[in-house]
Amino acid sequence: MKNTLTIALSVLLLAFAMPAFAQKYACVNTDYVLKSMPDYANAQQRLDRYVTDWKKELDDKNSELMAMRAEYEQESYLLPENLKKRRQEEIKTKEQEIRDLQQQRFGPGGDLDKRRAELLKPVQDRVYSTIERVAHEKNYAFVFDKAGSNTLLFANKKYDISDEVLELMGINPNATKQQELQSDEKPKAKRPSNNEMNAPGANRTGRDVGTPLGGNGLKKK
């Protein structure tokens, strides 16, 4: 009787577990998808231009503050006490102005967050809606994002729907892969050894002689 009850209970548990095993899963790499989208690249470039302008604005303000401090230090011993206090207050006001501007541009809910939402969020929303469409069409119960995931330890490529998402948005995934392949195949500049760098007449900049300083440098977003 006890064995019969155990068997019956096992069968019942297996019956409840089977629908879970029958569910379909997939994964997607949203970083790969976004970087393959021209709209996202254009939006990121526009955001980078805003950031560059804001940083220059802060740099200019800091230069003004440094000039004010230097001028005050040079003249303070000649100034009467009332003028010293006035100049000190002007410096404090300038410092607070810079802190406020820093917060306005780069603080939580500031201009950077607003521009990011304005420029990038529509593209991201388009990706997520396309992922949802693929999930419904393929009857996936769950779709995991393997971009930067610390919990996804393994993903079979045949369940990766990243290329399907790109194709539904009218983007050729093969073109993106070809560009990545060509980028990987580009020869890297050889770094000179210490002996070469220390040789008489050697070019110690580490650049080719014909390469001008301050050339086009690419930075990662």
Residue 14 inside a domain? The answer is no
pTM: 0.60
Residue 189 inside a domain? The answer is no
Alpha helices (H) along the chain: 2-22, 30-35, 38-75, 81-106, 111-119, 121-138, 162-168, 173-185, 194-198
Average pLDDT over residues 99-116: 96
Given a cut of 50, whether residue 126 has pLDDT beyond it is: yes
Given a cut of 90, whether residue 150 has pLDDT beyond it is: no
Q: At 204, is the pLDDT very low, low, confident or very high (cuts 50, 70, 90)? A: very low
Domain range enclosing 114: 32-181
pLDDT at 16: 45
Residues 43, 34: Cα–Cα separation, whole Å:
11
- Per the structure, how many domains does the chain have? 1
pLDDT at 191: 46
N residues, the chain: 221
Residue 93 inside a domain? The answer is yes
Residue 46 inside a domain? The answer is yes
Give tens-digit pLDDT for 55-104: 999 999 999 999 999 999 999 888 899 999 999 999 999 999 999 999 99
Residue 195 inside a domain? The answer is no
Question: Residue 106 corresponds to which amino acid?
Answer: F
Residues 170, 38: Cα–Cα separation, whole Å:
11
Residues 105, 58: Cα–Cα separation, whole Å:
9
Residue 194 inside a domain? The answer is no
pLDDT at 208: 39
Residue 27 inside a domain? The answer is no
Residue 55 inside a domain? The answer is yes
